[in-house]
């Protein structure tokens, strides 16, 4: 089954690659004939000539790679600039972007029609939104002995709805005949803040499980069952899972890697129980890319083959007008660099994120040029 689009490594390995990247990335020599950020293209930029400051806020999902990118870009590519990104959750990022209190926002869901209308009203020009990363939402487990436990969408929904409350429930035993499941309470953990990670998971469950669609639906912040635990941000959820016997929660794959958490395999649309690896994330994203619409408003659904089924994208939110020239140039240059530089992509992949394919990357590069172009 092909992916359907709905329109509207280890800790040591991460550290080693990040350090190597910081040492080896672009020097401050003069580059000519290159677009800002770039590997060739229109325009010219003297690399190391930019100055100014940017502020951004939003999703915690991409925060590990965003921080690596920012540290490298401001330390080795454009040393005259400062960029601050605060991981406040997708809901907070959208809110601060629409309030114009930051230069850019990020979110794990695209802006809805009503939000695009607000953006136009407050700024006097359209918003620009484009994806920069794909990543998996993984189900992390407190007990290392449960690593690779198999879950379906229905069973996961019933766990969060407290219909399934113990690891030795018959539904879990049937899915895991070779696993010694403990006689232990499951303690599901969710995000306490408005979160794109919550959106990706709840959208997946809404698409796959009828009762979830009726009772909970999808959103960055939903009405969770009273019997669940909570944590703020991906870090908070991971910490609560680690601190709670029987803990089970959803986090960005990079957080599971960072904390060396056990993770579940999830059955996809073709009935395959898939481990949340970078390869499985990349398969899902590659199948999806051909059908991404011009406005970049999409959800990745119906993942089959060897693709991991709970995958989402991270969007960057900016405006097509209203920035000072210095700020607009810096916005375009940084995100062009992040999208196109091969070593920036290597850092993202080491942290568990899937880079975009060349065709989508070219489309996103063109969209970045719309920032402050009106």
CA atoms within 13 A on the CB side of 20: 10
DSSP 185: B
Q: Please tell me whether residues 100 and 145 are part of one structural domain.
A: no
The pLDDT tens digits along the chain (374 residues) read 444 443 333 333 333 333 343 333 333 333 323 444 333 334 445 688 899 999 999 998 899 999 999 999 999 999 999 999 999 989 999 999 999 999 999 999 999 999 999 999 999 999 999 999 999 999 999 999 999 999 999 999 999 999 999 999 999 999 999 999 999 999 999 999 988 899 999 999 999 999 999 999 999 999 999 999 999 988 899 999 999 999 999 998 888 888 889 999 999 999 999 999 999 999 999 888 878 999 999 999 999 999 999 999 999 999 999 999 999 999 999 999 999 998 899 999 998 899 889 999 999 999 999 999 99
Q: Please tell me whether residues 23 and 96 are part of one structural domain.
A: yes
How many angstroms separate the CA atoms of 22 and 73, rounded?
9
DSSP assignment of 291-331, as one string? T--TT---EEE---TT--S-EEEEEEEEESS-S-HHHHHHH
The pLDDT score that the predictor gives to residue 81 is: 97
CB atoms within 10 A of CB 321: 15
Instruction: Assess contact for 311 and 303: CB atoms under 8 A.
Output: yes
Residue 298 lies in a domain: no
How many angstroms separate the CA atoms of 175 and 171, rounded?
7
Taken in order 222, 227, 230, 234, the sign of the CA dihedral is: negative
The pLDDT score that the predictor gives to residue 46 is: 62
Residue 70 lies in a domain: yes
Residue 301 lies in a domain: no
The structure tokens listed for 81 are 């600039």
Contact partners, residue 210, CB within 8 Å, separation at least 6: none
How many angstroms separate the CA atoms of 301 and 283, rounded?
13
The pLDDT score that the predictor gives to residue 45 is: 58
In the block, tokens 């904390």 appear at: 259
Q: Please tell me whether residues 178 and 220 are part of one structural domain.
A: yes
Q: Tell me, what CATH number does 120's domain have?
A: 3.40.190.10
Residue 289 lies in a domain: yes
Q: Please tell me whether residues 184 and 257 are part of one structural domain.
A: yes
DSSP 74: I
From 293, 322, 340, give the residue that closes a domain: 293
Instruction: Assess contact for 134 and 311: CB atoms under 8 A.
Output: yes
Q: Please tell me whether residues 117 and 150 are part of one structural domain.
A: no
Closest CA to 248 of 233, 257, 267, 261: 261
Contact partners, residue 349, CB within 8 Å, separation at least 6: 278, 355
Residue 306 lies in a domain: no
The pLDDT score that the predictor gives to residue 355 is: 85
Residue 232 lies in a domain: yes
Q: Please tell me whether residues 122 and 144 are part of one structural domain.
A: no
Q: Please tell me whether residues 289 and 154 are part of one structural domain.
A: yes
Angle formed at CA 154 by CA 353 and CA 135, multiple of 5 degrees:
5
Task: Give the H/E segment covering residue 278.
Answer: helix 278-289
How many angstroms separate the CA atoms of 71 and 354, rounded?
20
Q: Please tell me whether residues 181 and 234 are part of one structural domain.
A: yes
**pTM as predicted:** 0.83
Q: Please tell me whether residues 266 and 155 are part of one structural domain.
A: yes
The pLDDT score that the predictor gives to residue 103 is: 98
Angle formed at CA 354 by CA 353 and CA 357, multiple of 5 degrees:
155
From 227, 258, 293, give the residue that closes a domain: 293
Domain encompassing residue 70: 8-132+314-368
Q: Please tell me whether residues 77 and 104 are part of one structural domain.
A: yes
Q: How many structural domains is the chain composed of?
A: 2
The pLDDT score that the predictor gives to residue 257 is: 84
Q: Please tell me whether residues 226 and 253 are part of one structural domain.
A: yes
CA distances from 93 to 55, 117, 200, 260, 338 (A): 11, 17, 16, 28, 19
In the block, tokens 């899915």 appear at: 175
The structure tokens listed for 296 are 């970049």
Instruction: Assess contact for 296 and 129: CB atoms under 8 A.
Output: yes
Residue 374 lies in a domain: no
Closest CA to 49 of 66, 33, 36: 36
Q: Please tell me whether residues 28 and 91 are part of one structural domain.
A: yes
In the block, tokens 């609560």 appear at: 240
The pLDDT score that the predictor gives to residue 254 is: 83
262 - beta bridge partners?
141
From 293, 323, 344, give the residue that closes a domain: 293
Instruction: Assess contact for 19 and 318: CB atoms under 8 A.
Output: no
């Amino acid at each position: 089954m092909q992916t359907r689009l709905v329109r509207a490594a280890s800790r040591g390995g991460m550290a080693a690659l990040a350090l190597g990247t910081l040492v080896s990335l672009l020097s401050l020599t003069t580059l000519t004939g290159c677009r800002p950020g770039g590997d060739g293209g229109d325009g010219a930029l003297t690399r190391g000539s930019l100055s100014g400051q940017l502020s951004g806020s939003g999703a915690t999902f991409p925060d590990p790679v965003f921080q690596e990118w920012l540290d490298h870009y401001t330390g080795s590519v454009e040393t005259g600039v400062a960029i601050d990104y605060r991981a406040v959750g997708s809901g907070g990022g959208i809110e601060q972007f629409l309030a114009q209190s930051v230069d850019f926002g990020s979110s794990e869901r695209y802006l809805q029609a009503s939000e695009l209308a607000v953006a136009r009203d407050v700024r006097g020009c359209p918003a620009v939104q484009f994806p920069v990363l794909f990543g998996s939402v993984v189900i992390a487990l407190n007990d290392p002995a449960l690593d690779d436990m198999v879950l379906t969408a229905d069973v996961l929904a019933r766990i969060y709805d407290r219909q399934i409350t113990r690891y030795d429930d018959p539904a879990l035993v049937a899915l895991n005949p070779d696993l010694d499941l403990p006689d232990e309470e499951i303690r599901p953990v969710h995000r306490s803040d408005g979160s794109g990670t919550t959106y990706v998971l709840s959208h997946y469950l809404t698409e796959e499980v009828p009762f979830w669609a009726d009772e909970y639906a999808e959103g960055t912040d939903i009405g969770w069952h009273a019997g669940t635990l909570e944590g703020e941000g991906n870090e908070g959820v991971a910490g609560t899972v680690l601190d709670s016997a029987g803990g089970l929660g959803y986090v960005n794959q990079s957080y599971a890697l960072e904390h060396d958490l056990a993770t579940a395999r999830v059955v996809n649309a073709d009935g395959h129980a898939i481990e949340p690896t970078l390869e499985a994330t990349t398969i899902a994203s590659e199948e999806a890319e051909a059908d991404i619409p011009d406005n970049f408003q999409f959800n990745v659904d119906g993942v089959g083959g060897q693709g991991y089924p709970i995958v989402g994208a991270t969007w960057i939110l900016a405006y097509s007008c209203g920035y000072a020239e210095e700020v607009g140039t810096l916005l375009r240059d940084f995100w062009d660099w992040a999208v196109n530089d091969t070593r920036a992509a290597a850092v993202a992949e080491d942290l568990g994120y899937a880079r975009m394919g060349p065709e989508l990357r070219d489309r996103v590069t063109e969209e970045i040029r719309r920032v402050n172009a009106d």
